[in-house]
């Protein structure tokens, strides 16, 4: 018998026991049942008035899924702002799903690829700075790689750890999927082409499987991210040019292989209002705390990094291709000196007003600031 049933029965018995009539007992029983019934009715009405939370579908690479998306989606749902269906798989699958409308948001550990049609109608929203880290087994005695060594390893010119201070054949691992975020970003830095062919015979379906393989292979080497490797005792992160990857060396740009993690959404998507709401949520202080727990640097915490891309490229080129570095520096200086200030500033102002959180807006803002500073530096001092 339910609580309501027991209360009704008790009221009926008490009324009769007090010498009341059957009619009086029935009246007392109805009075006992009324508050519970009213409460149940009110609860049902309140439930009926609560609209279901809007739902979004996210698809993307394992890097962004592990780095921030799983935790941010959980917190977003806990705040009752919306629900998420998460589909971690690969960079291309996420970007293509957003392009064809089967997903609302994609996760990507690389920027858009120029000329790729499926990405031309998508806005890329920078979320955090991470670092590309070269990992091997803790049993491997090698601790550092230079940028030139990395370049030659990926081209198949260095195939033995003995050339790097270790011993045995070097087993280079890579993710098999085309245009994978980590692979693309590293090859872009080393070769200026994210789709550069490399000599990596051991291919894996995603970066998690790559990490598992390297952890049990003392001769293995591959690229993952600081957010993934910093808490994995089965992986040894190598320094690059004797600089360790950390949130501090990412933020100040001293670690040369820092990278950006993105969310991407199609321009004019059906759920644009809900997408924009989540993008704004990702920029909140609470979300920034989640990013920091994963070893990431929130994008806004390193405002000077976007304007230092040319400087970083020159640094890497000077160590990888010293014969070309001087010519490239001269060409960049000439282009910067001739660039009018008004056009970049106007472009940045327009994008900040209309698409403030997108990658192109942030890059335009950084470019305008850099050109203004260069013009000031070039101006003759007044007597």
Last residue of a domain, one of 238, 253, 268: 253
Q: Is residue 281 part of a domain?
A: no
CA distances from 250 to 174, 304, 346 (A): 23, 11, 30
Q: What's the rounded Cα separation, in Å, for the pair 190 and 151?
A: 6
41 and 137 in a single domain? The answer is: no
Task: Write down the pLDDT at residue 51.
Answer: 74
Whether residue 153 contacts residue 174, with contact meaning beta carbons closer than 8 Å, is answered with: no
d(CA 88, CA 60) in angstroms, rounded, equals: 5
Give me the phi and psi of 75, to 5 degrees please. -65, -35
Instruction: Tell me how many degrees the CA angle 344-350-351 measures, rounded to the nearest 5.
Output: 90
333 lies in the same domain as 243? no
225-259, pLDDT tens digit by residue? Answer: 999 999 999 999 999 999 999 999 999 999 999 99
Q: Is residue 85 a part of any domain in this protein?
A: no
Domain membership flag for residue 205: yes
Write down which residue in 218, 253, 288 finishes a domain.
253
The pLDDT, as a whole number, for residue 249 is: 98
Q: CATH number, domain at 145?
A: 3.40.190.10
Question: What pLDDT is stored for residue 230 in this prediction?
Answer: 95
Indicate whether 68 belongs to any domain. Answer: no
- Predicted pLDDT of residue 16: 47
Flag whether 318 is in a domain.
no
Q: What string of H, E and C letters represents the secondary structure of 143-186?
A: CEECHHHHHHHHCCCCCEHHHHCCCCECEEEEECCCCCHHHHHH
- Would you say the C-alpha torsion 262, 268, 270, 275 has a positive or negative sign? positive
Position 293 scores a pLDDT of 96
- Tally of domains in the chain: 3
Answer yes or no: is 109 within a domain.
no
Q: Which residue has the tokens 């690479």?
A: 61
The Cβ-side half-sphere exposure at 160, using a 13 Å CA radius, reads: 4
The answer to whether 107 touches 122, Cβ cutoff 8 Å, is no
Q: What is the DSSP code (8-state) at residue 67?
A: I
Residue ranges of alpha helices (H) inside 254-308 are 272-282, 285-293
> Which spans in the chain are helix H?
3-17, 22-49, 62-64, 70-78, 91-100, 147-154, 181-191, 207-215, 226-229, 247-251, 272-282, 285-293, 309-320, 322-338, 342-354, 359-378
**Inside any domain, residue 226:** yes
Rounded to 5 degrees, φ, ψ at 237 are -85, 130
Does 329 share its domain with 246?
no
In this prediction the pTM is 0.76
Task: Write out the H or E segment, with its range, that includes residue 297.
Answer: strand 297-298
Sequence-ordered list of residues with C-beta below 8 angstroms from that of 313, at least 6 positions apart, any chain: 189
pLDDT digit string (tens) for 56-98? 999 999 999 999 999 999 999 999 999 999 999 999 999 999 9
Q: Tell me: the pLDDT tens digits for 323-334?
A: 776 666 566 556
Residue 221's nearest CA partner among 240, 208, 202, 205 is 202
Task: Let me know whether 236 and 341 are in one domain.
Answer: no
Point out the domain boundary residue: 253, 284, 306: 253
b or e along 188-203 (b: 16 or more beta carbons within 10 Å of the residue's beta carbon)? bbbbeebeeeeebebe
Domain that holds residue 366: 323-383
Tokens of 381: 């001092």
Give the chain's residues under pLDDT 70.
1-50, 325-383
Residue 74: inside a domain: no
Same domain, 238 and 339: no
Same-domain check for residues 245 and 329:
no
């Amino acid at each position: 018998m339910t609580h309501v049933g027991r209360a009704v029965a008790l009221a009926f018995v008490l009324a009769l026991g007090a010498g009341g009539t059957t009619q009086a007992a029935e009246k007392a029983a109805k009075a006992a049942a009324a508050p519970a019934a009213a409460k149940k009715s009110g609860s049902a009405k309140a439930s009926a008035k609560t609209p279901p939370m809007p739902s979004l579908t996210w698809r993307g690479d394992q890097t962004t899924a592990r780095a921030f998306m799983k935790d941010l989606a959980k917190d977003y749902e806990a705040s009752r702002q919306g629900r998420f269906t998460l589909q971690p798989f690969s960079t291309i699958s996420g970007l293509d799903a957003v392009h064809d409308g089967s997903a609302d948001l994609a996760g990507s550990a690389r920027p858009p690829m120029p000329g790729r049609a499926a990405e031309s109608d998508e806005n890329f929203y920078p979320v955090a700075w991470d670092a590309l880290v070269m990992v091997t087994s803790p049993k491997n005695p090698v601790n550092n790689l230079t940028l030139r060594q990395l370049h030659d390893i990926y081209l198949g010119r260095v195939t033995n750890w003995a050339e790097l201070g270790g011993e045995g054949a070097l087993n280079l691992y890579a993710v098999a999927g085309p245009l994978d975020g980590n692979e693309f970003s590293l090859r872009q830095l080393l070769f200026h082409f994210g789709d550069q062919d490399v000599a990596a015979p051991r291919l894996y379906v995603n970066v998690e499987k790559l990490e598992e393989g390297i952890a049990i292979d003392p001769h293995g080497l591959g690229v993952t991210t600081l957010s993934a490797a910093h808490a994995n005792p089965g992986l040894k992160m190598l320094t690059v040019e004797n600089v360790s990857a950390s949130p501090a060396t990412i933020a100040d740009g001293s670690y040369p292989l820092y990278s950006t993690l993105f969310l991407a959404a199609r321009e004019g998507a059906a759920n644009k209002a809900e997408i924009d709401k989540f993008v704004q949520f990702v920029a909140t202080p609470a979300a920034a705390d989640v990013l920091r727990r994963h070893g990431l640097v929130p994008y806004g915490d390193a405002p000077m990094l976007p304007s230092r891309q040319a400087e970083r490229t020159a640094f890497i080129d000077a160590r990888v291709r010293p014969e070309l570095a001087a010519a490239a520096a001269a060409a960049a200086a000439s282009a910067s000196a001739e660039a009018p200030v008004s056009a970049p500033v106007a472009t940045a102002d327009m994008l900040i007003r209309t698409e403030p959180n997108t990658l192109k807006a942030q890059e335009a803002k950084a470019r305008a600031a850099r050109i203004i500073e260069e013009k000031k530096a070039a101006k003759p001092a007044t007597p």
